[in-house]
Structure 1
Amino acid sequence: MQIIDSIKQNVLDNKYQDSLSIANAHYNIGELYRYSVLGDSAYYHYHKAEKIYKNLKKNLSIAKTLYGIAVIQKNEKDLTGSEITSIEAISLLGLLNETNEVRKYKAFIYNNLGLVFRQLEQYDESVSYYKKAIELKKKLKGNNLRTINNSKNNLALSYKNAGNYKLALNYYNQLLNGDDLKKERRGVYALVLDNYAHTLYLSKHYEKLPKLYFQALRISDSIQENGYNSIIINQHLAEYFNYKNDKKSAKYYAYKAKDIAEQYHNDDLLKSLLLLSEIEEGNVAAMYSKEYIKLNDSLQKNERSIRNKFARIRFETNQIEQENIRIAKERMWLLILSVVIVISSFLLYLVITQRNRNKELKFIQKQQETNEEIYNLMLSQNESIEEARTLEKRRISEELHDGVLGRLFGTRLSLDSLNMSNDAEAIKTRGQYIDELKIIEQDIRKVSHELNTNFVSGSGFIDIIKTFLETQTIAYKLGYKLEHDDTIHWDDVSNKTKIHIYRIIQESLHNIYKHASATQVNISFKLKNNVICLIMSDNGSGFDVNKVKSGIGLKNMNSRINEINGNINITSEKDAGTTVTIEAPIT
């Protein structure tokens, strides 16, 4: 700890003015804290070193620092974070020439990835990374047997957890038969021996058990004062004796494992509590089950707390703040550019839309002018017909008045002269003739007067509608009925309104023929409160008004009725026909 304080003091006193020296100092402090199992402090200094190395573009140093961070994240169960950091480090090393140091750290990082995926229980990926680590370690300069054996032990453990006991036993035999573990690393040898024995247990080969477990336990107890490595051996012994239904021995080793694990309050204690909940019975088993759940929740909260602390460390550095400022500026420019693009696109859309609208308005205007011209021609033609009718009526009236009435008047005078006779029968007969002639005279005068009077004003428009209906219904094979209110003075109605009504009737008939499969259409004109009410109904197939999409015909009808400030309503039912109701004010 004095070395750590000395290095920190050097950093705080700004004795290392050179950026690389400062970064190296932070890295060294991080390394010392990592091996002292002070994860959050190590993470802080690694993170400081990483930022300076990145500014200096020291990719190898960055990768080494990231490896240290990844190991801490793995130890604190931030497995996803450790995986991401490891991949980032591997990517940086991939950009460098394959030196011995680059190869060494690649091997270390692959081994860490193997540990991460083993804890994630993704054993295929774990095995793949361990093999990559072993291959790289074999290529390193010098004697690397120890680090190779470490990866082989990890590989064998992944095979064991994956249920591939044959391969696991093969690697454990290689390790146990080598001199490295037997002579120089007795503690590791005891753990390998225990794992070998446990693999035999899992593969149901009990011949050498529990002898191998006891051998591993004796070695572990002989070289370690605190007995930490014996926790898992005692757990395996408890598991074995519980399987053999030797409850007394099982409880003995389970409690022994728990007593040692309580000094560390970690996953080993969690496993001991779970084991006791399986070995014990009744309330005791329930008690250990509750303790297991409580400790598991506590460890998870602690892991989350550490991960959150790591996140805070990253965001509390000045380098991150500067990076955030740079990103904010980029985002601001991106936002400005996006706004400019959106506004430009909107303006372009408005220009295009307005042009299309102008074209549409010009087309509508031209269509209206054409309609006006057509209707005026129709009215002119109808006026010529009406003028001919009026002349013919006047001729007939004059002929009736000057011819027939003159003759009848002379006859009446002759009969009056015969009235001199005093014969009662003659007088009576003559009187009857005279009265009858008077009646005829009155009737003829009435007819003459009516013939000389013009038709109801505006009847020409109804004639146009009737002529159109007669022509179209024959073509469409429809029966029709037309009713109209004589109180409507069509001369007071603007040509624009009459044209639109005519076109709406035309469009409606076309829709009936095209879609309705109708045989009869009824049309009526009524006047209500100075509003012309046109009702068109058919006996066709009908449709769902809410579901059908508005076609061009319906859009045109709506457009026309809007032009004359009217209203349109369409009601329809399946197999019950369709009714179109239009209301158009006269003024």
Structure 2
Amino acid sequence: MYKIDSIRRNVLNLKTPDSLSKANANYNIGELYRKTTSLTDSAYYYYYQAERIYKSLKNNYGVASTLYGIAEIQRNEKDYTASEVNSIEAIQLLELLEQTYKVKERKSFIYNTLGIVFNELEQFDESIKYHKKSLELKRNLKGIDKSKIDNSINNIGFVYKNLKEYELALNYYNEILLNENLINERPDFYALVLDNYAHTLYLSNEFDQLPNLYFKALKITDSVNPKGYNSIIINQHLAEYYNDKGDKDSAKYYAYKAKEISMNYHNDDLLKSLLLLSEIEEGHMAAKHLKGYVKLNDSLQKNERAIRNKFARIRFETKQIEQENIKISKERMWLFIISVVVVIASFLIYLIIMQRNKNKELRFIQQQQETNEEIYNLMLSQNESIEEARTQEKKRISEELHDGVLGRLFGTRLSLDSLNMSTSADAVKSRGEYLVELKTIEDDIRKVSHELNTDFVSGSGFIDIIKTLVETQTLAYSLKYDFKHDDAINWDSVSNKKKIHIYRMIQESLHNIYKHANATQVNISFKLKNSVICLTMTDDGSGFDVNKAKSGIGLKNMYSRIKEINGTIDIKSKKDVGTTVTIEAPIP
């Protein structure tokens, strides 16, 4: 059907209405419909369109070809008189042409159609005459496919069988069957000829080779197409044979088998199967099949009449259809224009909506970044408050040492210095030693005071925040923890964005451990390797299969965060052992 639709589109796109190209295209569509579908009315319509154009171009070969196609359709639909008329007209047109290879070949096909038509009309002598004309033409054509010659020979044998001239029929069938390669080249055709040969023997009361020939033909047919058309005929012939021999069981078996296959076709072969069963069966079953035969026969006759009437209507309605096609073409043009406008407008609207959504997404990301910054600033503010209290306490101790203890020691040193007026050698020596010792104490206290007054915790704020997070979370989750960090990491050089993402990933990992792992211990460590911060979190939980586990929202967020900081994440887990999450984030 795709090939037919493609050719039909080409016909509609042709700019010259009555051109040879359009005639050929209509003819090709008719051929495809006739040979590949059951849509005979569509085939007839396109043949008729081609015929009209060929006639306007005075192309006799084209007209003859379309008349042959129409005659074939009419033959298949049992409109034998119309088929005969069109076939004769086609032959007359071809006789006016130079007798080239393709003209002679076309004539041979038309003669073959006339032979089949007259056989169906039971005018067997006329049928033989036309089949022999077809065979003579084919044999005189050099290089023609031998299968076409074999087809004519089989048709002649079939007509002689109907004439009850069985010996002549057998001679024609034997001519075909002598070809030893035929069973390999055309097994389905070989089985058909073999069945015709066997049935001719049956009709001539020669049963020596029966039913073996039938079985051989059936076996070949079933090997090619078990539900094919040839299987119906062979099964019917076997049913006739066994019924004639009085073997009712076998006759019923093959008759029902023929009926079952012919149900797929719903044509004359089903009709023959029902009639055969009405003869083989007895009582109410015979009446049932006869009733089915009558009903189907009426249905087929009505269908044939309906199709013939449809063919007639096609000819009368063509002009109206052409006018409607012109109108439809105009409507399609406007529809195409409107469709293009709608598509362009829709595309523009789509771009606007996409741009708006993109702007919303950017604003959301910006808001998220601002929120992250605010969170981090709040954490820093909290840490600064702690550091400020710690600094004030150190300052208080420093002032106490400096103003209190150091002052008193300084006073004592002055007192001792004033006593140094004694001239006693021992007193002088003793006082000197005390004074030196006091001065040493004074220097030590001054040094301690100076060191206490120095803000030595600068840069350690983020680690304190992480410690607070770990302590709070593990306490809430009833987990033991071990936290280690590398002092070589300069957190002041790490961006706030990266710190926030690290903080959130630790938080999410602890939450996952509590929710899924059933762990009792978690180990967290920070290390610095080649300017890359390596965070490792290991638990002793139940573990899971990393390849089969579904990624929840939390895990997806972790992957998204690690992508934001150009880092990597690696999750390794083993059932009943635990899980290790390794995160690497470059410092720059």
| 1:6 CA drift (Å) | 1.1
Letter in 1 for 2:10: N
Task: Deviation per CA, 1:111-167: give whole Å up to 9, x if none.
Answer: 000010111111111011000000000111314311010011011000001111010
Task: Write out aligned runs for 1:421-500 (5 A).
Answer: none
Residue of structure 1 in register with 2:6 after alignment? 6
1:79 aligns with 2:80: yes
Contact 1:315 1:321 in 2 (8 A): no
Structure 2 counterpart SS, 1:317: helix
- Secondary structure of residue in 1 paired with 2:122: coil
Shift of 1:16: 5.3
Matches within 5 A, 1:196-215: 196-215=197-216
> C-alpha deviations, 1:311-360, integer Å up to 9, x for none?
111111229999xxxxxxxxxxxxxxxxxxxxxxxxxxxxxxxxxxxxxx
Partner of residue 19, structure 1: 19
Q: Per-residue CA shift, 1:460-494, capped at 9, x if unaligned?
A: xxxxxxxxxxxxxxxxxxxxxxxxxxxxxxxxxxx
Task: Say which SS state the counterpart of residue 316 (structure 1) adopts.
Answer: helix
The 3 A distance-change label for structure 1 pair 26 and 180 is farther
In the other structure, the counterpart of 1:248 is 249
2:159 aligns with: 158
Any gaps of 5 or more consecutive residues in structure 2? 324-588
User: Normalized against structure 1, the TM-score is what?
Assistant: 0.54
Partner of 1:57: 58
CA contact (8 A) 2:18 2:53 kept: no
Change (3 A) 1:313 1:306: same
What's the offset of the Cα at 1:180? Answer: 5.1
Counting only pairs closer than 5 Å after superposition, residues 108-147 of structure 1 correspond to structure 2 as 108-147=109-148
- RMSD over aligned Cα atoms: 1.6
Distance 2:186 2:16 in 1: 40
Instruction: Name the CA distance, whole Å, in 2 between partners of 1:18 and 1:314.
Output: 17
Partner of 2:420: none
Whichever residue aligns with residue 88 of structure 1, its letter is: E
Is the CA contact 1:152–1:171 (under 8 Å) kept in the aligned structure 2?
Answer: yes
How big is each residue's C-alpha offset from its partner over 1:63-105, in whole Å with a ceiling of 9 and x where there is no partner? 0111111001101111111000000000101111111111001
Structure 1 residue runs of 5 or longer lacking an equivalent are 323-587
Tell me if structure 1 keeps the 8 A contact 2:108–2:134.
yes
Preserved CA contact (<8 Å) 2:138 2:144:
no
- TM-superposition CA deviations, 1:514-566 (whole Å, max 9, x none): xxxxxxxxxxxxxxxxxxxxxxxxxxxxxxxxxxxxxxxxxxxxxxxxxxxxx
Distance 2:278 2:270 in 1: 12
CA contact 1:146–1:180 (8 Å) conserved in 2: no
Q: Which structure has the larger Rg?
A: 1
Matched AA of 1:235 = Q
The Cα shift of 1:11 comes to 1.6
Asked whether 1:91 is paired with 2:89, we answer no
1:35: which partner in 2? Answer: 35
Is the CA contact (8 Å cut-off) linking 2:63 and 2:90 kept in structure 1? Answer: yes
Q: Using the alignment, how far apart are the partners of 1:205 and 1:226 within structure 2?
A: 29
Aligned length: 322
Distance in 1 (CA, whole Å) between partners of 2:98 and 2:244 is 54
Structure 1 residue 12: Cα displacement: 1.9
Q: For residue 15 of structure 1, report the CA deviation from its aligned partner.
A: 4.5
Distance 1:144 1:180 in 2: 15
2:175 is the alignment partner of 1:174: yes
The 8 Å contact of residues 195 and 217 in structure 2, kept in 1 or not, is answered as yes
Deviation at 1:227, TM superposition (A): 3.1
User: Offset of 1:13 from its aligned partner?
Assistant: 2.8
Please give the secondary structure, in 2, of the residue aligned with 1:130.
helix
Aligned to 1:345: none
The aligned amino acid for 1:3 is K
The equivalent of 2:231 in structure 1 is 230
Task: Using the TM superposition, give the Cα deviation of residue 225 of structure 1 relative to its aligned residue in structure 2, in angstroms.
Answer: 4.2
Q: Distance in 1 between matches of 2:44 and 2:272?
A: 28
Secondary structure at the residue paired with 1:264? coil
- Partner SS, residue 57 of structure 1: coil
Specify the SS of the correspondent of 1:229. helix
Alignment correspondent of 1:275: 276
The Cα offsets for residues 276-302 of structure 1, whole Å up to 9 and x where unpaired, read as: 000000111011111100000100000
* Cα separation, 2, equivalents of 1:217 and 1:115: 25
Partner of 2:444: none
CA contact (8 A) 2:235 2:254 kept: yes
